[in-house]
Amino acid sequence: MSTISKKITASDPSCHIPEWELKQVNQSNPIDMYIAEKMKMSENQGHGRFMSRSIRKLLRLSETYMKCARRFMRPASAHICVILCDRALECMLKAIYMKQHHGNLPPPTLTFLDVIQLAGDDPVQELELAMFVHAIHFLAGCEDAALLQQVNLPQMQQLVQKVEDTLGRLSERV
């Protein structure tokens, strides 16, 4: 009985061995190493496409929320406007998170520390921005309508403008 040792290749249809095992088995064969490296590169390119698509979708969603917020820029619907501004800020921060963490999905809710880290390099601006984002988040989640009943149109316009300015600063980080 003769034993035939066959090299395992990635192109072999009967091959169901993970890539890391292929590298271990075929360390001496440069062609197999090249195929394994190409497989790894294509996986990374797929991940890169997923990341860039996700970031673009988050940025478009942020813009959509701001367009809707401008439509609700009336004292009678101040709470809806604040909720939409909060969602726009959240989408932008999640896009920055994905960019900085190489495509890792962001947590469902970003903590104050997360917002500070995503805000920028200047400690004073980071803290100011994080405080503003969390103030908007607090107002959006507040069920007491009395907080926003006294808001007038110029104040709503200032708030929406501040959110747009903040989004503009944050978009530079994407």
66-102 pLDDT, tens digit per residue, is: 999 999 988 888 999 999 999 999 999 999 998 888 8
**pTM, full prediction:** 0.70
pLDDT level of residue 160 (50, 70, 90 thresholds): very high
Contact, 147 vs 155, CB < 8 A?
no
Sign of the dihedral defined by the CA atoms of residues 85, 91, 95, 97, in that order: positive
Burial 23-50 (b: 16+ CB within 10 A, else e): eeebeeeeebeebbeeeeeeeeeeeeee
- What integer best gives the mean pLDDT of the chain? 76
**pLDDT average, residue stretch 99-123:** 82
Asked if pLDDT for residue 148 goes beyond 80, the answer is yes
pLDDT tens, position by position, 120-131: 777 777 888 889
pLDDT confidence of residue 2: 41
